Chain A
Amino acid sequence: MKGWQIVYLKEIKDYVSDKRIRFSAFVMPIVLVITMFYMFGTITNLVSKPSSQAIYVLDQPKLSGESALFVSALTKAGISVKNISDLEKGKSQIAKGSIKLLLAFGPSKPGQINVDEYFDPANEAAQVTVGMLDESVRQANTKAVQALLTAKGIPDYLAQPLNLVQKKVHKGAKSASGVVMALLPYLLVLWSFYGGMGAVGEIVAGEKEKNTLETLLTVPLSRTAIALGKLFSMTTLCFVGALSAVVGVVIAYLLPFQQMKAITKSGLGIHPQSFLIMILVLLPTALMFSALMVSISTRARNIREAMTQLSVLSTVVILPAVFSQFIGLTDFARSTWVSFIPVLNTANTIRLSLSGDMPLTAVAATILVNGSIGLIFLFVTKRLFAKETVLARI
């Protein structure tokens, strides 16, 4: 066994035997991913269920004719319709947020029912309810016009003078489900950083603090071998942290919860090709993060100093990772320059692969950029290990 491999194996065994590291690198990503998917599923379920959209109607019992029929149709569609007898009281409850949408039926003309929709435009839940009602009404209006035209002997397609028909062009590979595409790249990048956070303080700074580093540096191994063994063990931990997030997604999908089914109706859609791309871009990303973290731990006097500096670094990781969630809404996602921004490139490349693309240029650029940064910090770590002043900074 080579020197760096002995150090590497010892560090890996140490991680596995430490309950705290096991929890932060392996258990936490799985638990958090399942929790996030469960929450998203719950929200999706609630938003898409008509029964969860309560609509208040002013003076419902007094309605007659077409208005009463309309309200009855809403009830039949599963929407919860409630009565309120005072418009001002209704408005005040809208302001408080306890009523999302209030319908007030006005004077009707023959063939047209006038309804005022009262809602708070700043209330996002109210906007969902209004959107759902508007879509139902649009469909009902079309049907009514078609029926009217047919009765008059006019072709019913004239109810839609401009007919838009969606023709989906599939790329061959099916894309992953929307929530997986939105969340997974972000989670993978986060955990390839945070996977190593539980151990990085101890890996060098902790050894200084506990007086074990001097002993280690007096064994007949080059300092480069010791640095490499420690760094590659941290790379493994970061990589495994990211893979645990994938395991979390699979477990979340397999769990028999209705909430999960709502967001993965046609399966997860993670293809072997996407998985391969994930591995390819996560490895240099894990190297980049681990080299950065180990160099900070080597430079620091003690665990506390290392963790303070790492918490500042974590914001640099979080920002591009958060931005990656929204980049798909813009044309930037397919711009070449994105592939040259560390962290963002990993998340974006994974997102592109999940959408069914085969982003070879982005994969190559991500490996090149993140791998190069990883190698630079590997070199920095090696240099720091060679400096006696850094090792004696206790």
Chain B
Amino acid sequence: MVQVEAVSKTFAGKKGAVVSALSNVSFQAKEGEIFGLIGDNGAGKTTALRIISTLIEPTEGRAKVGGYDCKTNPIDVRKNLGILSGSTGLYGRLTPVALLTYFARLFGESESTVKAKVQKSVEEFHISEFMDRPCDQLSTGQKQRVSLARATIHDPQVMLMDEPTNGLDVQSSQGVLEFVENLRKSGKTVIYCSHIMSEVERLCDNIVILHEGKICASGTVAELKSQVGETSMEKAFLALIGYKAGANS
């Protein structure tokens, strides 16, 4: 469903320097799979997600979603994508209903189906109790429920999730994780980025670990652990990126 083939991305840095954010990265996420994309800060996770979501173009290589090329067919790619991040902003003055109606229209829903779609989302994400309040006045957990509803209003085949539990309390995080698990059950593809290894361990079927823009390891949770002989995902991750205790202190 999502194919990333030998993708590299460079940016122009200060004084003409070239900064490499991704270097020859390839992976594939299949239908009904939760695919973990993990790495330390600056590893290139967000750049990879931005390339898949058509926000930026790769310098080399190509990415495809549902068979559509992200560079040459971005509109069709976006129709198949739902995007959610922990830092996703909402339009503060809009109510959840107005926001969902706006995005339903943007995703091409006809006027006759918009209302029903929004109503379904409101019920599915338990938004009704605060649906007429401006988004600015919602709690972090409520905002994330609205963001989830917004990201899935067009029933996308692929979800890109960048640290979706960032800043959420335990209960709200649990809700998000259960939602991601349900996506897998319904045959959707999820690309899941997180720093929280317990989440990665619980959710991800396959994982790619990025370090300094390159893939340093890939496989299932069990495979990654066995590669370095560790029992916890957190320790395995640190070993795979070459972390040495005290080196950063």
B91 contacts chain A at the CB level, 8 A cutoff: yes
Q: From residue B80, how far is it (CB to closest CB) to chain A in Å?
A: 9
B88 contacts chain A at the CB level, 8 A cutoff: yes
Residue of B nearest to A209 (CB): B89
Q: From residue B63, how far is it (CB to closest CB) to chain A in Å?
A: 14
Residues of A within 8 A of B111 (CB): 1
B55 touches A219 (CB 8 A): no
A14 touches B94 (CB 8 A): yes
B107 touches A219 (CB 8 A): yes
A212 touches B93 (CB 8 A): no
Stretch at the interface among B98-106, B195-203, B218-226, B232-240: B98-106
A1 touches B105 (CB 8 A): yes
B177 contacts chain A at the CB level, 8 A cutoff: no
Given known pairs A1-B111, A214-B55, A388-B55, the reply for A219 and B93 (CB within 8 Å) is no
Q: Of residues 93 to 133 in B, which have CB atoms within 8 Å of A's CB atoms?
A: 93-94, 98, 102-103, 105-108, 111
B55 touches A220 (CB 8 A): no
Residues of A within 8 A of B247 (CB): none
Q: From residue A312, how far is it (CB to closest CB) to chain B in Å?
A: 25
Residues of A within 8 A of B92 (CB): 210
Alpha-carbon distance between A18 and B93 when the two chains are bound, in angstroms? 7
A6 contacts chain B at the CB level, 8 A cutoff: yes
Q: From residue A203, how far is it (CB to closest CB) to chain B in Å?
A: 12
A114 contacts chain B at the CB level, 8 A cutoff: no
A10 touches B102 (CB 8 A): yes
B1 contacts chain A at the CB level, 8 A cutoff: no
Residues of A within 8 A of B228 (CB): none
Residues of A within 8 A of B75 (CB): 220-222
B88 touches A220 (CB 8 A): no
Q: From residue B84, how far is it (CB to closest CB) to chain A in Å?
A: 9
Alpha-carbon distance between A388 and B21 when the two chains are bound, in angstroms? 14
Q: Of residues 229 to 274 in A, which have CB atoms within 8 Å of B's CB atoms?
A: none
Alpha-carbon distance between A391 and B55 when the two chains are bound, in angstroms? 9
B152 contacts chain A at the CB level, 8 A cutoff: no
Residues of B within 8 A of A18 (CB): 93
Q: Mark B43-67, 1 if CB is under 8 A from A, else 0.
A: 0000000100111110000000000
A218 contacts chain B at the CB level, 8 A cutoff: yes
| B interface residues, tally (CB under 8 Å) | 32
Residue of B nearest to A225 (CB): B106
A211 touches B87 (CB 8 A): yes
Residues of A within 8 A of B79 (CB): 220
A17 contacts chain B at the CB level, 8 A cutoff: yes
Residues of B within 8 A of A1 (CB): 105, 111
Residues of B within 8 A of A3 (CB): 106
Residue of A nearest to B91 (CB): A212
Residues of B within 8 A of A221 (CB): 75, 106
Given known pairs A14-B94, A17-B93, the reply for A6 and B105 (CB within 8 Å) is yes
Alpha-carbon distance between A222 and B75 when the two chains are bound, in angstroms? 7
Q: Of the candidates A10, A207, A210, A218, which one forms a contact with B54 in the assembled complex, judged by CB atoms under 8 Å apart?
A: A218
Most chain-B Cβ atoms within 10 A of its Cβ — which of A217, A219, A222? A219
A218 touches B90 (CB 8 A): no
Given known pairs A6-B106, A388-B56, A388-B57, the reply for A215 and B83 (CB within 8 Å) is yes
B188 contacts chain A at the CB level, 8 A cutoff: no
Q: Of residues 1 to 22 in A, which have CB atoms within 8 Å of B's CB atoms?
A: 1, 3, 6-7, 10, 13-14, 17-18
B89 touches A212 (CB 8 A): yes
Residues of A within 8 A of B98 (CB): 13
- A-B residue pairs in contact (CB < 8 Å), sample of 14: A10-B102, A17-B94, A211-B87, A211-B89, A212-B88, A214-B55, A214-B83, A216-B106, A218-B55, A388-B56, A388-B57, A389-B11, A391-B55, A392-B50
Which residues from chain B sit less than 8 Å from chain A, CB to CB? 11-12, 50, 53-57, 75-76, 78-79, 81, 83, 85, 87-94, 98, 102-103, 105-108, 111, 150
